[in-house]
Amino acid sequence: MAQSSSNNGGTDQVLVEERASVRTIILNRPKQLNALSFPMISRLLELFHASEGDSNVKMIILKGNGRAFCAGGDVTAVVHNVRQGNWKLGADYFREEFTLNYLMATYSKPQVSILNGIVMGGGLGASVHGRFRVATEKSVCAMPETALGLFPDVGASYFYSRLPGFFGEYAGLTGARFDGAEMLACGLATHFVPSERLPFLEQALGKVNTSDPDVISTIISRFSNIPKLKAESPYHKMKIIDRCFSRRTIEEIISSLENEALNKKDDWISSTIQSLKKASPTSLKISLRSIREGRLQSVGSCLVREYRMVCHVLRGEFSKDFFEGCRALLIDKDKNPKWEPSRLELIRDDDVDRYFSKIDDEDWEDLKLPPRSNLPPYAIAKL
């Protein structure tokens, strides 16, 4: 087995292993929980393009070094750049990342992501769009963007809106964490393999000489099992989730949860209400609309819209909540963000509309997604 690495500013942030027809790509910033830096995203784009054009590569395995698959995008670096006065540097980061998400979503060869640990934000974008996602008992995933003053991005308005019922609205608005069993139950993972079996799974996949997803799925299934959901899992609360998170507005969602709380004492309902009340009001409003629009859009349309949204967030014309959220949670870590506007009722519909419009800047352009061809049926379905 040959191993090579990408040399990014003197650090090997992405490693590559070749085994017969399988290319294994390893995210390698374990101290930063494999948070995606700009050089990592550029290198991943390069590797995915090259692998697609290489007839010797039949399949890609993507995994992380250490206790995380990937804890998301390196947003502190993005915030640092934007604070230097150039929001477009931040926009460049998201443009590259969303282009990678699109390439993964429409990839002509199977991508097997091994999610043995933490999977947050951009880590979901780098895996859920791929064909196979293997969770383990060590998996924990979330998109906590509304607590950061952002919104579930990286194509989450596409994949969250396609979870059962209104589970995607619940997951995206509250930033709830899910374990491997829950990821499998809701469809974020396609398989669950106990972590001690992963070396044997990788060994079996290393012998594959086909891109046939049925063959690969059969191999993964040999090592898989169906784990039991814990008693307190939110997945057991689907009736309440569908009743409350199907409401038209954030205000109505919170109000219906509060009505549920009057009828029965339930710690899950109280903590869900608390999560919503702690989040950025602006983030909640734009996130709900984004997921709702995503239900009816292709993965490409979702990413183009999310790119517009993230550019508005970076410009901070209506709200600077993203910078405040990053300060409070990631930089100063006082966990006490001061949102502005501070209440849902201070945000009008036309304030929300602004996030979905083109940027008023002559140098700005919409996200241009690469043309795709010769796609397998499961990728065509996303278009």
Residues 190, 378: Cα–Cα separation, whole Å: 14
Residues 89, 82: Cα–Cα separation, whole Å: 7
Among 101, 115, 98, residue whose Cα is nearest residue 64: 115
Active-site annotation holds for 73 = yes
Residues 227, 136: Cα–Cα separation, whole Å: 9
Q: Are 219 and 208 in contact (CB under 8 A)?
A: yes
Among 8, 29, 149, 30, residue whose Cα is nearest residue 82: 149
Active-site annotation holds for 334 = no
Q: Are 157 and 302 in contact (CB under 8 A)?
A: yes
Helix (H) / strand (E) containing 119: strand 118-120
Helix ranges (H only) for 191-328 are: 198-205, 213-222, 238-245, 250-263, 267-278, 281-294, 299-315, 321-326
Q: Beta-carbon neighbour count of residue 359 at 10 Å?
A: 18
Active-site annotation holds for 294 = no
Active-site annotation holds for 153 = yes
Residues 299, 369: Cα–Cα separation, whole Å: 11
Q: Residues 64, 117, 122, 168: which is the catalytic one?
A: 122
Residues 6+ apart with CB under 8 A from 68: 30, 33, 34, 117, 118, 119, 123
Residues 100, 278: Cα–Cα separation, whole Å: 31
Q: Residues 64, 72, 73, 117: which is the catalytic one?
A: 73
Q: Are 325 and 150 in contact (CB under 8 A)?
A: yes
Q: Residues 97, 145, 260, 321: which is the catalytic one?
A: 145
Q: Residues 17, 74, 97, 153: which is the catalytic one?
A: 153
State the catalytic residues.
73, 122, 145, 153
